[in-house]
A and B are shown apart, each in its own frame.
Chain A
């Protein structure tokens, strides 16, 4: 095969991939026109969880920062929305902006102590931070203690708008992770994940790299938290800062394929559909979800997309560098 043939085949493949992606986005964007209310609600959940999974994957799968504390940012997003709209009569746009500022500031504050930890200690450290924030909110009169707050304004948002917002968030999360990984920063993240000491000796600034990645993931999770609670419309400290969010993110990434951009897409869809299906079996749902996770880890340790990539070499969003690029 000549060089020209290889290039033309590559362009053809890229063209097909791009076509499929664009067609899928258009079909999903038009869902409110032909889908049921239930389908739209499922869509909101799938794309919100996709954004959460994608960010957790950026942290754990591509940077080696395994966090079990990022539910704190969902709670921060939720409470910012509640306080801004209920206590101060602000709008949703204002809620998003303020939540971003709080997320960045909070990330900067906690990064200083937790970046001194590594490996499993980092994971435990993030969890402790999140539990501490939960305790703080439970005892904070301003947010009505453990009784929670009704986000009354959120009841007036049409589901279609929430769906389009979630879809946009999901798409942006995929695009953001893709472009980060294709950039110079992505190279440093992957090197840091594989061997931090070696990366530093090669000139990678570990603290700066970790901090930027942490800030991006935390901020995006906070924005997703705002959107999720625009749908839920009632916030309490327990559920908002609960470990369940972290478990969901881990499940989505592990099932779908850690360290792949496609993984959280598949993982989020499977997770939401399973949760819908298991809604009628409340006592059994966690056992079944846990069993599925264990089976997938045993059969395909790199998740569904990792197994597909290993067997067929298929990648929709490749972040591999080529000499010829």
Chain B
């Protein structure tokens, strides 16, 4: 694997709340790394740290031999980091074409004229060529999610950070988004993908990293990670805790120690 991004011991706190205690990972070119974890695990915070929106308390983030944590949001965007937001943040009073043009012009520091070909290619990829002169504020959710990906792609990113691009979409819409992600991956861009719709993400990722309690608990092939008891523990709690909750809800139930014998 040709590693393009390395994170070491990343930590972020909001007051006394240690959202990320120590997160380390590697991302390869053309690799899709899925990040899973329960609500509040710090997945979006991690993407914010990588894109520069959130400052890290400590750690190292190495890209092309440079420590990214010393760079501003704009520098990171221009150095090859594209991202989407959980709730699409398109420029509502600008057209689809202009939205993509912003990424192409400022993400690559080029003129508008020199950026049009790039925008044309991206609009074709995300399937919004026919709606290029519509205002972004008037698009439906799927189109806004596509546009969000398009805006990130126009800056020619080396690393693409996807935050819940399939959230809120129907099954057929999710399939469309998945196809777009596959096409992006084939162009050699490293993708880090957060998703609550696990089945969707797992079918499109090369590796999965489980994030919980501020650390990356486990990472590996999707099927290996999903088969791990750690996933069940993180999402549902320990077996003892599950039984305790059941007893509390339904009254009498299996006695303490039953969980050890259940297999």
Q: Identify the A interface with B (CB < 8 A).
A: 184, 187-188, 190-191, 193-195, 197-205, 259, 320-323
Q: Which of A188, A200, A320 has the most CB of B within 10 A?
A: A200
Q: Are A200 and B74 in contact (CB under 8 A)?
A: yes
Q: Which of A198, A202, A259 has the most CB of B within 10 A?
A: A202
Give the distance in Å from the alpha carbon of A321 to the alpha carbon of B85 in the complex. Answer: 25
A-chain residues with CB within 8 Å of residue B155 when the two chains form the complex: 202-203
CB < 8 Å: which of A187, A198, A205, A259 contacts B98? A187
CB < 8 Å: which of A193, A197, A203 contacts B93? A193
CB < 8 Å: which of A194, A205, A323 contacts B92? A194
A sample of 18 cross-chain residue pairs with beta-carbon separation below 8 angstroms, ordered by A number, consists of: A187-B105, A188-B102, A188-B106, A191-B102, A193-B93, A197-B89, A198-B89, A200-B73, A201-B51, A201-B53, A202-B106, A203-B109, A203-B155, A205-B74, A321-B95, A322-B97, A323-B97, A323-B120
B66 within 8 A of A: no
A-chain residues with CB within 8 Å of residue B112 when the two chains form the complex: 184, 187, 321
Q: Which of A184, A195, A198 has the most CB of B within 10 A?
A: A198
A281 to chain B: closest CB distance in Å?
38
- What are the 5 A-B residue pairs with the smallest beta carbon separation, nearest first? A203-B106, A194-B91, A198-B89, A203-B77, A203-B107
Chain B interface size band reads: 20 to 34
Q: Which residue of A lies closest to B136 (CB)?
A: A194
Give the distance in Å from the alpha carbon of A165 to the alpha carbon of B171 in the complex. Answer: 64
Q: Are B119 and A323 in contact (CB under 8 A)?
A: yes
B181 to chain A: closest CB distance in Å?
19
Residues 100-147 (chain B) with a chain A CB within 8 angstroms? 101-103, 105-109, 111-112, 116, 119-120, 132-133
B78 within 8 A of A: yes
Residues 44-92 (chain B) with a chain A CB within 8 angstroms? 51, 53, 73-74, 77-78, 83, 85, 89-92
Give the distance in Å from the alpha carbon of A200 to the alpha carbon of B151 in the complex. Answer: 12
Instruction: Given A195-B89, A200-B74, A201-B51, check contact A190 B98 (CB 8 Å).
Output: yes
Give the distance in Å from the alpha carbon of A184 to the alpha carbon of B98 in the complex. Answer: 11
CB < 8 Å: which of A184, A202, A320 contacts B151? A202
CB < 8 Å: which of B53, B78, B92, B98 contacts A203? B78
B229 to chain A: closest CB distance in Å?
37
Q: Are B91 and A184 in contact (CB under 8 A)?
A: no
B94 within 8 A of A: yes
Q: Which residue of A lies closest to B123 (CB)?
A: A323
Give the distance in Å from the alpha carbon of A322 to the alpha carbon of B119 in the complex. Answer: 11
Give the distance in Å from the alpha carbon of A191 to the alpha carbon of B100 in the complex. Answer: 11
Q: Are A202 and B107 in contact (CB under 8 A)?
A: yes
B-chain residues with CB within 8 Å of residue A197 when the two chains form the complex: 53, 89
